[in-house]
Structure 1
Amino acid sequence: MPEPYPTRPKRRGRLLRYGAALLVLCGVAAYLVVQYVTGGPGARGCRVVGGGKDGASYEFTPEQAVNAATIAAVGTGRNMPERAITIALATALQESGLRNLEHGDRDSLGLFQQRPSQGWGTERQIMDPAYSAGIFYAHLAEVPDYIGLPLTVAAQRVQRSGYPEAYAKHEPDAELLSAALTGHTAATLTCAGRPERTTAQTGPNAVRAALVRDFGRDALRETNAVVGGTPVPSPSPSPSVTATARGRTVTVPVSEEARGNAASAGLRERERGWQLAHWAVANSSALHIQRVFYADREWTARDGGGTWHRVGTGGAGGAEKSAGSVRIVAGQ
């Protein structure tokens, strides 16, 4: 009599193969999702290069770019020197990786891992990057001769960290970021890839609100300007910030920042202009900024944002050359 057909072992083997195939598919799907969100072709990323010939560069994420730009803007708004901004950026790189963390050691929070229990502010305040940067600078300014101190010593006088030597390793990257985000180097910060998917407001009004957030209310000098429902006092002369070009362009003149003799005033104007231009590129993903113009240069999100082009040569906006102002074109 023939033996029964072994259906159960075959069925079990088929189920195992199906299960293995399903696991492989899930793995591939997960990989593709990760590539879309954090890496792979088209993923958003930013890069800053040094102004020298050593080829130094630093690559970072859009989140880090926004936070770094805020730290720099708050520092210059307080008239802090570039060295102070380098110290702040190196500190934030060590403490949080330039991310606004909602957790940390004990009750530490935010970019600088400041503790509400130690008098740094409320949790809500510390989670505001502009506030946390401002309170860091306030403490740094009280450190005697902090400009002349080694970076790790100056940072430690403020932070009182358990790992005081850790700040030093971030100094080279912080110097690159500081030089770009204070405008001391021109056309050195770029961002490329897809903009963030966000439910937050974008467009010119969002750009204006972000300028106020980082640079303070002096950044908006437009007659009858309103941000977040609050009127902004109009200084004289005005306007200094206007929305033009089909309502999508925010133009920020920088010539009013210049003071003193012509040479030093011109230098300060260029630095202010490049600070604002690099700030706009750093915020391009979050605010859906499409183009930035300053001096004879243009950055365009549509071409991947890999480089700054000279207007009239490699750029698409030869007729829109920017003189004495930064022009920021925002999407809706």
Structure 2
Amino acid sequence: MGSSRPVAGGTSRAARPLPVGRYRLRRLLIGSAVAALLVALAGLGLFTVRWASGPTCQARAGGSTFAFTPEQTGHAATITAEAIRRGLPARAATIALATALQESGLRNLDYGDRDSVGLFQQRPSQGWGSVPQIMDPTYAAGAFYDALVKVDDYESRPITEVAQEVQRSAFPTAYADHEGEGRVLASTLTGHSPAGLGCRLGRAAAADPAQVSAVLGAQLGVSATASRGALTVHTSTATRAWQVASWAVAQAERYGIVAVDVADKRWERAAAGASLVWQDTQESADGTTVTLHLAP
């Protein structure tokens, strides 16, 4: 009595038809689930199309390749430039980039958990600075490095431990998820992986040579000479030249840079896939001089 097991010639309780109300509810739930799945698939399709044909950047180093938006590479260039300006090792940039990827997706967010804002989701109430200061990517990166260099053996310890000492996150192990991306970005942007960063971009807005020159000086500490729609930067080493060249590609979307020449390589802005890689120019150019061509 009360068993749900089938009875010869009858129907078990578990197998009986559902009441009409419950049947309609089940149909509604199934329909909602199907609709949600279709929306998710549509979003995946848009995501795929975006990476396949829209503005995107690729960083390649050590056999690994990662894709980023132009916004992300621009912020990555600013974060890395601050490490270079301070004379910090590439490992410092790797830690900072992995942290920013975890905290904000390398986006300069004006919101977050409680009063957290910016690339690193730093909190004014915890002494990181005012909201306007933290929303300045250069200031935010500098504040991160100020804390990072106080961590003992930060260059050799696991990134999860180091980033956690700086950030005090509720999810300390998540930083390691982005270590590979951070390392590849840092390697290209510090000049250790020449020609490792390329961006596929649409038509450029008109550039302001004075602005680009000023930002180059502020972020990388180099001087640029303007002539006929281009800026020329003379550096002391090939690595330094590739720091400038990679910065220029990463910031091309924001500052209207249409091409970059260094050594016997050229990156040229285009909506085609060829712009994701540097091209050989077959010219014997000076490996320490970088030329940035600007949109008129």
Q: TM-score range by the shorter chain?
A: 0.7 to 0.9
**Residue in 1 that maps onto 2:6:** none
* Number of the residue aligned with 1:96: 104
Q: Is the 8 A contact 1:293 1:322 kept in 2?
A: no
Structure 2 equivalent of residue 188 of structure 1: 196
Deviations 1:72-102 (A, max 9, x none): 0000110111111100000000000000000
How many corresponding residue pairs?
250
Indicate the SS of the match to 2:210: helix
Counting only pairs closer than 5 Å after superposition, residues 166-181 of structure 1 correspond to structure 2 as 166-181=174-189
1:242 partner amino acid: T
Which of 274, 278, 281 aligns to 1:311? It is 281
State the partner residue of 1:271.
239
Q: CA deviation at 1:322?
A: 4.2
Partner of residue 207 from structure 2, selected from 202, 205, 222? 202
CA distance 1:99–1:196, change in 2 (3 Å): farther
1:47 aligns with 2:58: yes
Change in 2 beyond 3 A, CA 1:322/1:288: farther
Shift in Å, 1:42: 4.6
Aligned-partner residue type, residue 44 of structure 1: P
Using structure 2 for the length normalisation, give the TM-score.
0.79
Unaligned runs of 5+ in 2: 1-41
CA contact (8 A) 2:202 2:270 kept: no
Q: Does 1:151 align with 2:159?
A: yes
Structure 1 residue aligned with 2:11 = none
| Secondary structure of the structure 1 residue equivalent to 2:178 | helix
- 1:183-241 CA distances to partner (integer Å, 9 max, x unpaired)? 001101000031466xxx723223113213422xx323xxxxxxxxxxxxxxxxxxxx2
Q: Please point out which of 71, 74, 86 is paired with 2:79.
A: 71
Tell me which residue corresponds to 2:292: 328
Provide the C-alpha distance between the structure 2 equivalents of 1:41 and 1:96, rounded to a whole number of angstroms.
24
Name 2:260's counterpart in structure 1. 292
Shift of residue 309 of structure 1? 1.1
Q: Is the 8 A contact 1:204 1:243 kept in 2?
A: yes
Task: Report the residue type matching 2:135 in the other structure.
Answer: M
Map of 1:232 onto structure 2: none
Structure-to-structure mapping, 1:22-171, within 5 angstroms? 39=50, 42-50=53-61, 52=62, 54=63, 56-171=64-179
Report the more deviating stretch, 204-213 or 143-152: 204-213
> Relative to 1, partners in 2 of residues 1:249 and 1:35: Cα closer, same or farther, differing over 3 Å?
farther
Residue identity (%): 44
Structure 2 equivalent of residue 243 of structure 1: 226
In the other structure, the counterpart of 1:212 is: 217
Aligned counterparts of 2:114 and 2:92: Cα–Cα separation in 1: 27
Question: Structure 1: which 5+ runs fail to align?
Answer: 1-30, 221-240, 256-268, 313-317
8 Å CA contact retained: 1:195, 1:284: no
1:37-93 CA deviation, whole Å, 9 max, x = no partner?
x9276521000112x3x4x11000000000000000000110111111100000000
> Aligned partners of 1:71, 1:195: CA distance in 2, in Å?
26
Cα pair distance change 1:300/1:145, threshold 3 Å? same
SS at match of 1:71: helix
Amino acid at match of 2:280: R
* 2:185 aligned counterpart, secondary structure: helix
In the alignment, the residues of structure 2 paired with residue 48 and residue 203 of structure 1 have an alpha-carbon distance, to the nearest angstrom, of: 26
Q: Which has the larger radius of gyration?
A: 2
